[in-house]
Amino acid sequence: MRHGKLAHAPSPMALRRYGFILSFLAAPLVLYAVFVVGPYIQAFQIALTNWKGISPNFDYIGFENFTKLFDDGAFWPAVRHHGLLLLVMPLATIAIALFFSFLLNVGGGQRNGRRTGVPGAAFYKIVFFFPQVLAVAIVGVLFQAILSPDKSGVLNSALGALGIDPVGWLINPDLALWTIIGVMVWQAVGFYVVLFSAGMSSIPQDVFEAAALDGAGRFTLFFKITLPLLWDTLQVGWVYLGIAAFDGFALVQVLSVDRGGPDNATTVLPLEIWRQAFTFSKYGYASAMGVALFFLTLTFAALTLRVTRRERIEF
C-alpha cells in the first residue's frame, strides 16, 4: 500500500508546474474576490438592513425589504418592461444582425470560386460598428434631438414634410418604451454584425462550395448551413443581449420623460434602484431590488444556456 501511494504522488516537476500556474492565478483571483464577489456579498448584507446610506448606524430587518417588493407599484411594472425587452430586443437585434452579416459575408454570390459578401462589405462593417464607438449617454442625447416631439425633431421634421403630424415618440405612454427599444436595437446591431461576421468567416469555404454545387440558394444556404454552424455564437449573443435587456439604465435615464415616465411607462429595475438609493436614501431597499435583479439575470442566463443547448457541430 505504501508503494502504491508513492506511485501516485505528484512528481516534483508537476508540483513546480502547478505552483507556477497558481502564482499567475493568485493575483487575478484575489482581485476578482475583492472587487466583484465582495460587493455582491455586501449588497446581500445591505439588503437585509434599513440603512439610509449616510449614517453608519442601521438595523437588520431580515427579509422585510424583499416582502415590500411585492406591494411596490413601480417594481412590477419595471419587471414587465424587462419581460418585453427580453422578448423584443434580442429577437430584433439578432434577426437584423444575422441578415446583414449574411449579406456582408456570404450573400454576394460566387467570386473566384469562393462565397463572398456584397461589394463594399468591409466598409459597411465599419459603418454598422460605428454606434459602438459612441458612449451610451451620447446616443441618448443624439436621439433626444431626433425624437423631439415637436417639429424641431429630426424625425418629426421629416414626417412633417410628408404631411404627417408630429408624433410624441417619448411622451406617449403607448410608444415610449417601444421607441427606447428601437434605440437599443440600433445601438446593439453593429456589434452583433461584427460578432456574427467573425463566426461566419470561420466556417470553411468548402462547406459553402459543396452546398452551391448541390444547387443551394441563398435561403437554403442561410437556414440549412450558416445558421446551424453559427449556433454557438448565437447562443452567446442571446445571453449578452438578455443581460443588456436587464440593464437599459443609461438610455432610459436620458431619453425617458421624468426618468421612467410618462406614468412609469418606461421604468426599469436599474432606474428604480438608482431612484430608491439616491433620491429616497433607501439603500437597504435599493439593495433588495439589486439582489432581485441579480437572480432574475442569473435565472435568464441559466435557462437560455439550458434551452438553447444542442450538440456541437464540428467542421
The pLDDT of residue 1 is: 45
* pTM attached to this predicted model: 0.82
Tell me the torsion sign for CA atoms 80, 85, 86, 92. positive
Can you read off the three cell numbers belonging to residue 224? 440549412
Joined grid coordinates for residue 114: 469562393
Q: How far apart are CA 133 and CA 162, in angstroms?
A: 33
Residue 254 has pLDDT above 60, yes or no: yes
CA distance 85 to 78: 10
**Greater confidence, 208 or 3?**
208
Its CATH architecture, for the domain 66-307, is: Orthogonal Bundle (1.10)
What are the sequence ranges of the domains in the chain?
A: 2-46, 66-307
CA nearest to 191, candidates 285, 126, 252, 110: 126
Cell reading at 142:
443624439
What is the mean predicted confidence (pLDDT) over 103-107? 76
Question: Does residue 22 or residue 143 have the better pLDDT?
Answer: 143
Query: 262 φ, ψ to 5°?
Result: -75, 140
- Rounded CA-CA distance 214/54 in Å is 71
210 is written with which cell numbers?
459543396
What one-character DSSP code corresponds to residue 313? P
| CA 104 – CA 226 distance, rounded (Å) | 13
Residue 232, number of CB atoms within 10 A of its CB:
13
Give DSSP secondary structure letters for 121-173.
HHHHHHHHHHHHHS-HHHHHHHHHHHT-SSTTSHHHHHHHHTTPPP--TTTST
132: left (phi over 0), alpha (psi -120 to 50) or beta: alpha
Mean confidence (pLDDT) of the chain: 82
Model confidence over 72-91: pLDDT tens digits? 888 888 999 999 998 999 99
